[in-house]
Structure 1
């Protein structure tokens, strides 16, 4: 089973953003040692409980302290940016860590309306232009603008021999269709939605002309026992309630909870349900020690 990690760099109760980022780096090193396939960091803005507004900066550090694991953004929220600087930054990462860099693309704001305005001005209009932004980004990544295009004269520097691999992240049929139209590999956020994920994935597979890998991102807590896992999940839910402005109960939907054997069985069932190539695991507990142990237990039984 191919497993990867998605890290939101949570600032847990009694800790600091600096500690959260240090724990992200330590967890990436553990993932590298344990055989996880890739390690992605998320992008959020103006959210005190999440400490990573600039994935590319964090990935430079993670890449320098790991050796084989793929690293990437999950995701660069493209409406916040122009395509050119994104391409530059990820070509730079790919030049430093050849054959290891992924570039996940998302359309969410990643923060409050005020934060979105501060970042991008008219965010909604840029969301509408996402297909155009994606086209520009792909042309910059692969250096293949038409000769008569204004941007054809731009030389990306440094330009990596092995460009960053682009992915599109989403939770809806619309995002799946867009990924297929742009010939992009697709990541479905199972942990973020109650939508019919397998149906959305089937739509993606039916629309795309070229078979691309599919990742399903899922929230998981693995305890030594089922009872411990349930308690860890309750504590995580309480933390999320305290830090979230949402009126929801704080528990992530579609969470996998259990002891190592139960978690392995549930992950296998999920993979079969989606017929996906890879599962990407998000784990948030009330302390970093339990988070690390959860990932270790999963690796020990699944990898």
Structure 2
């Protein structure tokens, strides 16, 4: 089973955006050392508590400080951008870091309606044109326009020897079908939705096989994981992220990830306690043996080739330790 890292670049209480971004660079270096397959960083706009609005800039820095791990966006929110500009950017990264660049593609706004308007105008209209934008992006990357097309004579330079690898990201059957129809690898956001992930992955696999016989689909799922030396410690660490989600949705607090002490001493309402139980059920939490067992159980349900792990803790050191423990339990042991 291959393991990868999805980093949302969270800002913890008492820390700054610069601290969060530096911690992201440290995490990418650690993933490189530990043998994780890829490191992706997410895109968010005016999103309190998350520090990265522009994965492209971070990837330029991270690529220079890592050696083998694949790096990419999780994801470029394509409705906001012109495909040619995206192709130029990722061709440039692929030229600098050959054979290591992934181009994750998503359709979410990544922020409020106001932030979306400020960034790209009418987001809903842009989303409506997402399929055409995706096709145009792939044509630019592959230089696959018809001879009489207005874009046939231009290239998104520099053109790398090894092209960036596009991935489609999503949480719905619609995104899975879009990926399958175009023969793209697909990542399902298990941690982001209550949708039936295994069914969606199955739809992707079946439709891919019909559309592209003889070609093997690549499929991955992103899951929230907290691993610590003991079960109790892991559960305590997970509380920070849970309270962060509750406060964020209520619009209270400063948007930063609270401490474990704050999360343990918070006066949860009955409704919030119910939500805590649902979040804990959705998340993989425990000691290394328990995390391994839970991921293996999910593997049996999903049948994916790779797990992309997202970990939100107040302590950046605890986050790194979580990835270290998982790597030791699953990568070094050959699970």
1:272 and 2:277 correspond: no
Q: How far did 1:84 drift?
A: 0.4
Match of 2:234 in 1: 229
Secondary structure in structure 1 of the residue aligned to 2:67: coil
Range 247-256 or range 128-137, more displaced: 247-256
Distance 2:71 2:33 in 1: 14
Aligned residues: 303
Distance 1:41 1:188 in 2: 15
* 1:57-206 paired onto structure 2 within 5 Å: 57-206=57-206
Distance 1:206 1:243 in 2: 38
Match of 2:283 in 1: 255
Distance 1:53 1:253 in 2: 30
Match of 2:261 in 1: none
Distance 1:271 1:148 in 2: 47
Q: Which of 218, 222, 226 is the aligned partner of 1:217?
A: 222
**Conservation of the 8 A alpha-carbon contact between 1:219 and 1:252:** no
Secondary structure in structure 1 of the residue aligned to 2:145: coil
Segments of structure 2 that go 5 or more residues without pairing to the other structure are: 252-270
1:294 and 2:294 correspond: no
Q: TM-score under structure 1 normalisation? A: 0.97
Structure of higher CA gyration radius: 2
Segments of structure 1 that go 5 or more residues without pairing to the other structure are: none
Match of 1:282 in 2: 310
* 1:32-47 paired onto structure 2 within 5 Å: 32-47=32-47
